Amino acid sequence: MPEIPAEAWTRLPASGEVAGLEAVAAEAFGLHDPACVAATPGTQALIQMLPRLVGGASVGILGFTYQEHARVWCEAGRSVEVVERLEDLARFDVGLLVNPNNPDGRLVPPERLAALALDMRASGRRLIVDEAFVEMIGEGASLAPRLPIDSAIVLRSFGKTWGLAGVRLGFCLADADFASAVRRAFGPWAVSGPAIAVGRAALADRAWLDDARRRSIVAAERLDRILTAAGCRILGGTSLFRLVGHRQATAFADGLAAAGIHVRRFPHAQDRLRFGLPGRESEWERLTAALDRACSTIVQR
């Protein structure tokens, strides 16, 4: 973490400071024009803002995916349908996907997304791509370097990759006009001074990111071995989380919860669970012990 100037806490950030953060983000994400980047107070806030900024009655979402997208569009009064094929998104006013997908890690190549965005532009439609986890994939997976495409909107998270969710920082990448609309919608001082300081330092530290990618791959492989030994089937994920299948997933998750370990459950797919990566070595040991206890409990039943 960088040393945060005292002024970041005691005064409101100037517009030039936000612009400086957006310029660093543009370089980090591979965009040529910083005007195409709008900093926001977290990706979740941006997800909830989008229905106010993007018109259209129908929304298609490439599922099984992060449920907040469907929720906010439904609450905004839009007709929402979850589809299974990328090509089906083209028939909706708004097409939306998470790439790589949460929770199964499905990854659509950026050239396919660019082609879809151009096709949707011809009919006045929009494509929204949530790239919350793309940073850990490495080069060549993001649609961002192909922007601006004035029908495409890309969401980028900060907290997930850098492990700083409490900073509340995210980015909207789009054509300059839409990025400007995002800034106006959130109003002045949407991003705090400390978030600007931390964000600029982290986004510019590419050596740290390269090392984090390597470490997360090793950790994900270790987690796969532990989960497989506990009777789980690895179904997918990214290097930051793993999706597994288990015949008694509910009982398994209950056993972990009793040990104070939370895993993501899916009401519409009750045989699946999502695990995040443990951090310190003591957390790996705690997870392994809890898995052993959960397995024993299930066998005894």
Q: How far apart are CA 24 and CA 141, in angstroms?
A: 19
Degrees to nearest 5, angle at CA 235 with 232 and 240:
95
In the predicted structure, residue 271 carries a pLDDT above the cut 80: yes
Q: Is 1 inside a domain boundary?
A: no
Provide the pLDDT confidence category of residue 300 given band limits of 50, 70 and 90: low
CA–CA distance, 131 with 123 (Å, rounded to integer): 24
Alpha-carbon span 72 to 54, nearest angstrom: 12
Q: Are residues 181 and 165 in the same domain?
A: yes
Domain span at residue 72?
A: 7-204
Phi, psi of 67 (to 5 degrees): -75, -15
Identify whether 68 is part of a domain: yes
pTM over 0.85: yes
Q: Is 38 in the same domain as 174?
A: yes
Sequential DSSP letters for 82-149 = EESSGGGGGGSSEEEEESS-TTT-----HHHHHHHHHHHHHTT-EEEEE-TTGGGT-TT--SGGG---
Residue 170 belongs to a domain: yes
The per-residue pLDDT of the chain, averaged, comes to 95
Q: Are residues 41 and 149 in the same domain?
A: yes
Looking at residue 50, its amino acid is L
- Same structural domain for residues 218 and 143? no
Are 153 and 129 a contacting pair, CB within 8 Å? yes
Confidence of residue 212 (pLDDT cuts 50, 70, 90): very high
Taking residues 191-219, report their average pLDDT: 96
Of the residues 204, 234, 255, which one is the last residue of a structural domain? 204
Mean pLDDT of 50-60: 97
Answer whether residue 2 is part of any domain: no
Q: Is residue 263 part of a domain?
A: yes
Pick from 204, 234, 262: which residue ends a domain? 204
Do 173 and 257 belong together in one domain?
no
| Residues 103 and 227 occupy one common structural domain | no
User: Who's near 155: CB < 8 A, 6+ residues apart?
Assistant: 43, 46, 47, 128, 129, 130, 131, 132, 170, 171, 172, 173
Beta bridge partners of 1: none
The reply to whether 196 and 233 lie within a common domain is no
Count of domains observed in the chain: 2
Provide the pLDDT for residue 268.
85
Residue 135 lies in a domain: yes
Are the C-beta atoms of residues 264 and 273 closer than 8 Å to each other? yes
Quick one: 221 and 294 in the same domain?
Answer: yes
Q: Quick one: 143 and 31 in the same domain?
A: yes
Is residue 108 assigned to a domain? yes
CA 214 to chain centre: 19
Which CATH number fits the domain that encloses residue 35?
Answer: 3.40.640.10
Query: What is the rounded CA–CA span in Å between residue 95 and residue 133?
Result: 19
What is the pLDDT at residue 299?
A: 58
Let me know whether 56 and 103 are in one domain. yes
pLDDT of residue 301: 58
Residues 185 and 99 in one domain: yes
**Same domain, residue pair 86 and 193:** yes
**131 in a domain, yes or no?**
yes
CATH of the domain at 243: 3.90.1150.10
Among 204, 228, 258, the domain boundary falls at: 204
Longest dimension (CA), the chain: 63
